[in-house]
Amino acid sequence: MAAMAEFQARYERLEIKYLIDELTAERIRAQIDPYCTPDAHSCESAHDRSGRAGYPIQSLYLDSPALAFHQAKVRGDPDRIKARVRTYSDTSPATLEVKRRNSEVIDKTRAVIDRRFVEDAANGLSPPCLFPGDSQSRFLGDFAHTVAKWGAVPTLSVFYEREAYESLVDVYSRITFDRKIRVRRTSDWDLSPGDDDWHSFDDYWRTDHLTIPVVLELKCETSTIPAWLTDLIRRNELCQSSFSKYSIGISLTQWRCGGEIARAYSPARALEVPA
């Protein structure tokens, strides 16, 4: 992935998620064309057979031994936290992130470091940031503090393919489509896990549904939702979902069957195929 010209170490935003089918994704892609362009990473990446531009994302989620972050999601706590390490290839730098959620508002802080030093950063050794700045240096301390406070350890690897667009008409708005979600339990800091022991969300979903879902996320500034995004939601009769890749991944790798998870995280009408 190319270096970010203006790396933003902290920001607040609204994040709203939906589960849709591919026909709806195709329709939405056409509707956002006057307002959006593929993000920089999508423009660099190869297109798949459908002509979509996208890129892989691999996330290593940390949690306490008692899965405190996951349990907060299961309870529906309005204020909750996630800690993760994100990479975009087997050689890319690592982005350390702490996400704090208050209802729909996300406060994310992050820093980018050499992937070889992720465990050092978690242990408070503060390796150099690849985008130097006081805010990122402070965040490394916050990341290490979060890890120490919760006793957080590597818990789950999540892999998926993202198709992403950014607004041409707003200060900040993004639309992302995520597909082919795979998860595996882990207990080490390996950012390039092998091909074994992965659980595919699509495989579980097929047990109860005729269509494979696409995870749609609408992201914008906290002050207001742009009118064109509000119209997009209304025109497509989108039904909000509480879908969490991490928490579903924990469930997939424990004892719940795919059908139970699918019913729990998707309104029935979200995957209705238009006539």
Give 211-222 pLDDT, tens digit per residue. Answer: 788 999 999 988
Q: Which amino acid is at 157?
A: S
Q: Which domains does the chain have, with CATH numbers?
A: 10-269 (3.20.100.30)
Q: pLDDT category, 40, cuts 50, 70, 90?
A: confident
Mean pLDDT, range 16-28, rounded to an integer: 94
Closest-CA residue to 130 (of 85, 95, 168): 95
pLDDT at res. 50: 55
**Of all residues in the chain, what percent carry a pLDDT higher than 70?**
85
* Distance, CA of 124 to CA of 269 (rounded, Å): 47
Question: Would you state the structure tokens that stand for residue 237, as one six-digit string?
Answer: 């009769």
Closest-CA residue to 95 (of 181, 11, 191): 191
* Distance, CA of 9 to CA of 203 (rounded, Å): 36
The mean-pLDDT minimum among 231-235, 237-241, 267-271 falls in 267-271
SS3 of 224-267: the string is CCCHHHHHHHHHCCCCEECCCHHHHHHHHCCCCCHHHHHHHHCC
Highest averaged pLDDT of the listed ranges 18-32, 41-55, 202-216: 18-32
The number of residues making up the chain comes to 275
pLDDT at res. 275: 30
Pick 104 or 244 by higher pLDDT: 244
pLDDT at res. 48: 52
E strand or H helix at 18 = strand 10-20
Give 43-75 pLDDT, tens digit per residue. Answer: 655 555 555 678 999 999 999 999 999 999 999
